[in-house]
Structure 1
Amino acid sequence: MDEIRTGNRRSIRLARKLPLSYVLLAKGRGRAPRGGCTGPTVAQVAAVCLSSPVPDNSYTGQGERAGPVSHSDSTQVAQSTMAGGDNPSVICRAVAPSRPHGSIVPSERGDLSPAPGQGGSLGLARERTNLSALGLSPRVIATIQNARAVSTRSLYGSKWRVFEGWCDGRGLTSYQCSVPDILCFLQDLLEKDRSFSTIKVYLAAISACHVGFECSTVGQHPLIRRFMKGARRRLPVIRRTVPEWDLSMVLEALSQYPFEPLGSISLKLLSFKTALLLALASAKCVSELHAFSVHPSCTKFSLSRDMVSLKPNPAFMPKCFPAFTSEVLELSAFHPPPFSSLEDERLNALCPVRALRTYMNRTSAFRKSDQLFISWAPPHGGNPISKQRLSHWLVNAIALAYESKGMQPTGGIRAHSTRGIATSWALFRGVSLKDICSAASWASPHTFVRYYRLDVTNISVAHSVLGVGSA
């Protein structure tokens, strides 16, 4: 609708394009809200009704935003590391649904995952329309779109909306535009200093929603593939070669106050410490840690309580599926009692089995989900946390460890850095590449060597060679 005007009443002039719901649904003068996350209320009397080509989305509301997941022996790697509603039938389908708003924001009120159906329920509506044009039923379309993770669908949806806005400003049809138009958009991203990985996400979102060219998708077109190869050369990926933070200092802090004694510290610190120790001992990524469950079929302690076997929720699908070799994480106690020295007692404070057992006992009274890591803060205590919140836990644990030692944490600490630091120290202490890749769920050693291996040696090669001539 290019222009909308009323009869003899005050006219409405649209200085910019607005969602259709602001015009057809909002009460009053049809003015779009300037802030907030609440959508417009439904008008009591609809003055305009338009037919819509968008198919019925009754099956994709839950599929686009599923709720949080409720539900290899890496001991060698672990020890090496440690040592170092409204009725929808009333609302006419002709009205475009409002876009999702809001995001997960860290706060002291708690760590709560977004509710099902919230934030990204419209994810890839354009893709659903394309699939519907092929004659597929809504249930089949929902299953096909479920091949992508919820976070991926939400990310693609946001990138596609940016591309739609770019096309609207140039009078182009976003889902049918030509190859030169798509290349022009990608070039604009390149000249705005977007990273190569960001450009790849935009291209993936366009490929998912565009109708394609003959028998190929947008990403498979020869010119676009050559463009991406050229962009890769212009935007080389700079990989870190040294650790972002000091593992030995963080482990020393975790074995002392305020992270000890384990039985009397706050549940917040216990949650941070358990998550960080489990991440370091397992070399797992955040999504795999997030998938662990306390259900008896997934978490089993030995009779002596000095070993634990952890399995992810059966519904969890890792990125490297089906080449996922380490489905079971087995951990044994680290320097268990009786202690032969004070050093053994200090190292036992870093035992992930001990921390996990204490954490599960402390949270069993108010737990509302089988997911391993749950919120500790009221009023959402006991609810499962999101993957983003779990990432914050890992970063906060490292930062608090630095502060407890009277040091300022380094900037740019990422939760994913635990993977590279843990596996690099394991390699330095003699763990084989095969065991490292099995623990970290890497199908090939090239992944570790190319992206994760860090220089954790105390003495560089140059100094060791030059030191040969010394006494």
Structure 2
Amino acid sequence: MADPALVPAPTAINMHGQLPATSQSQSSVNAGKAPKAPPAAENETWRLPCVRESFQSRGLSNETQAILLSSWRESTQKQYRTYIKKWVSFCNQREINIFETTVNNVLSFLTDLFNSGIGYSCLNSARCALSSFLQLNNELNIGTHPLIRRFMKGVFVLRPTLPRYNVTWDVNVVLKYLKSLSPLSSLSLLQLSQKLLMLLALLSGQRGQTLHLIDVRNIYITADYVKVTIGDLLKTSNPKRHLGELNLSSYSIDADLCVVITMKHYLERTEPLRASVTTLFITSQRPHKPVSRDTIGRWLKTVLQNSGIDVKMFKPHSTRSASASTACALRIPVDTIIRTVGWTKDSVFRKYYNKPVSLDVEMSKRLLDNCK
């Protein structure tokens, strides 16, 4: 094995040491230091006044309220906010107590939402939003009340929410397009960025959120492999688990599909453009800033479209299903797929991601070997 060659000083890190907090994220906290929680009344980012007022009515301190409010991710807050506003309007029109009510009022509210045309998934979000602060007079939780659970089953029967995809696209089609993007030195920065992004998405099976959070300080490269550690909270992060280290091997059979070579070239190309930016992916136009999560999705969509995939049917997140399904079809053990992608149970893969075709090092290599 060749001597390990670290990424140039600004991007290298000893993976056995403590991971630095990503500069673009507020979710990583230095070890041993507890973040100072701002008073809930001053925490304008939450914008869930009903939840805060519910906590205040319980006599909780501002600091305690702020910590409790922090349990909801920003995406969850945004999702809840819509239905909490609708609930407030519903209660004001009927002169109902916003914080304490009966199950009949909750069912009437959910029925109004159902009649407005929304489906099971949105109604379930509304139920969860109310559960975050609302108390029923009988002290039963909204989510576990038998009538509300029966109501939700009825909604599913009348207006079922089915999986977006019953099949997935052929990974070979996209790999052949990526292979055509060569040599790397002739590619524009945008093309190079899109090629690296799609290789990472397919060979690791990760969400766009995870790829968006990759930090160059948490990347370790040798001639034979690249290791990436995510130092930020992810959608699936919890006190007991976090995504493990991503390990991707070089692919000597075809340098045009080698993620290690592509990663090295991208880091060398972008090093003089980064200034203080440490996120892996930066914008292709000046000033070179960290790309947004939406940009990651657009880049993935562009590659799919250029490869000939129907982007009206398949969204950027479909790379996760396509990667895992192809790995399963190649008889890569399900345990390997689950460990590589970061799922905790094989039931998640089998129920939501294993689709017929219309990681660790082994997974990425087998996926590339399948490209004819």
Q: TM-score, normalised by structure 2?
A: 0.78
Output the CA distance in 1 between the equivalents of 2:129 and 2:321: 29
In structure 1, what is the equivalent of residue 166 of structure 2?
Answer: 241
- 1:336-361: CA deviation from partner (whole Å, max 9, x where unpaired): 2xxxxxxx4xx321222222222222
**Kept in 2: contact 1:176–1:211 (CA 8 A):** yes
In structure 1, what is the equivalent of residue 259 of structure 2?
Answer: 352
Aligned pairs for 1:84-233 within 5 A: 121-233=45-157
In structure 2, what is the equivalent of residue 401 of structure 1?
Answer: 307
Change (3 A) 1:387 1:159: farther
> Out of 250, 253, 257, which is 1:333 matched to?
250
Change (3 A) 1:420 1:317: closer
Output the CA distance in 1 between the equivalents of 2:25 and 2:284: 16
| Amino acid aligned to 2:320 | R
| Amino acid aligned to 2:208 | V
Name the SS for the 2:220 alignment partner: strand
- Count of aligned positions: 322
In structure 2, what is the equivalent of residue 365 of structure 1?
Answer: 272
- 1:414 and 2:315 correspond: yes
In structure 1, what is the equivalent of residue 292 of structure 2?
Answer: 386
**Kept in 1: contact 2:304–2:311 (CA 8 A):** no
Output the CA distance in 1 between the equivalents of 2:237 and 2:147: 29
In structure 1, what is the equivalent of residue 6 of structure 2?
Answer: none
Output the CA distance in 2 between the equivalents of 1:353 and 1:254: 14
| Amino acid aligned to 1:396 | T
**Kept in 2: contact 1:301–1:308 (CA 8 A):** yes
Change (3 A) 1:142 1:310: same
Output the CA distance in 2 between the equivalents of 1:210 and 1:356: 49
In structure 2, what is the equivalent of residue 455 of structure 1?
Answer: 356
Deviation at 1:212, TM superposition (A): 4.3
Change (3 A) 1:132 1:184: same
Change (3 A) 1:121 1:215: same
**Kept in 2: contact 1:326–1:438 (CA 8 A):** no
Output the CA distance in 2 between the equivalents of 1:289 and 1:264: 24
| Amino acid aligned to 1:331 | L
**Kept in 2: contact 1:311–1:329 (CA 8 A):** yes
Change (3 A) 1:329 1:164: same
Output the CA distance in 2 between the equivalents of 1:326 and 1:121: 27
**Kept in 2: contact 1:69–1:291 (CA 8 A):** no
| Amino acid aligned to 1:283 | G
**Kept in 2: contact 1:262–1:355 (CA 8 A):** yes
Output the CA distance in 1 between the equivalents of 2:285 and 2:137: 51
Output the CA distance in 2 between the equivalents of 1:449 and 1:143: 36
Output the CA distance in 1 between the equivalents of 2:167 and 2:319: 13
Change (3 A) 1:131 1:282: same
Name the SS for the 2:332 alignment partner: coil
Deviation at 1:424, TM superposition (A): 0.7
Larger radius of gyration: 1
Change (3 A) 1:386 1:183: farther
Change (3 A) 1:389 1:192: same
Change (3 A) 1:410 1:291: closer
Output the CA distance in 1 between the equivalents of 2:294 and 2:109: 30
In structure 1, what is the equivalent of residue 238 of structure 2?
Answer: 321
Deviation at 1:317, TM superposition (A): 4.0
Whose helix proportion is higher, 1 or 2? 2
Structure 1 vs Structure 2 CA RMSD: 2.7
Name the SS for the 2:186 alignment partner: coil
Name the SS for the 1:174 alignment partner: coil
Name the SS for the 1:412 alignment partner: coil
Structure 2, unpaired ranges of 5+: 1-22, 29-40, 359-372
Name the SS for the 1:365 alignment partner: helix
Change (3 A) 1:385 1:179: farther
Deviation at 1:429, TM superposition (A): 0.8
Greater shift in the superposed pair: 435-444 or 387-396: 387-396
| Amino acid aligned to 1:416 | H
- 1:377 and 2:285 correspond: yes
Q: TM-score, normalised by structure 1?
A: 0.63
**Kept in 2: contact 1:437–1:444 (CA 8 A):** yes
Name the SS for the 1:241 alignment partner: coil
In structure 2, what is the equivalent of residue 285 of structure 1?
Answer: 207
| Amino acid aligned to 1:196 | Y
Deviation at 1:329, TM superposition (A): 0.5
Greater shift in the superposed pair: 350-359 or 438-447: 350-359
Output the CA distance in 2 between the equivalents of 1:137 and 1:67: 30
Change (3 A) 1:365 1:136: farther
Name the SS for the 2:132 alignment partner: helix
Output the CA distance in 2 between the equivalents of 1:209 and 1:392: 36
Name the SS for the 1:308 alignment partner: strand
Change (3 A) 1:67 1:192: farther
Output the CA distance in 1 between the equivalents of 2:172 and 2:322: 11
- 1:110-150: CA deviation from partner (whole Å, max 9, x where unpaired): xxxxxxx9xx8243121111112222222221111112211
Aligned pairs for 1:240-259 within 5 A: 240-243=165-168, 245-256=169-180, 259=181
Deviation at 1:330, TM superposition (A): 0.6
Change (3 A) 1:436 1:324: farther
Name the SS for the 1:371 alignment partner: coil
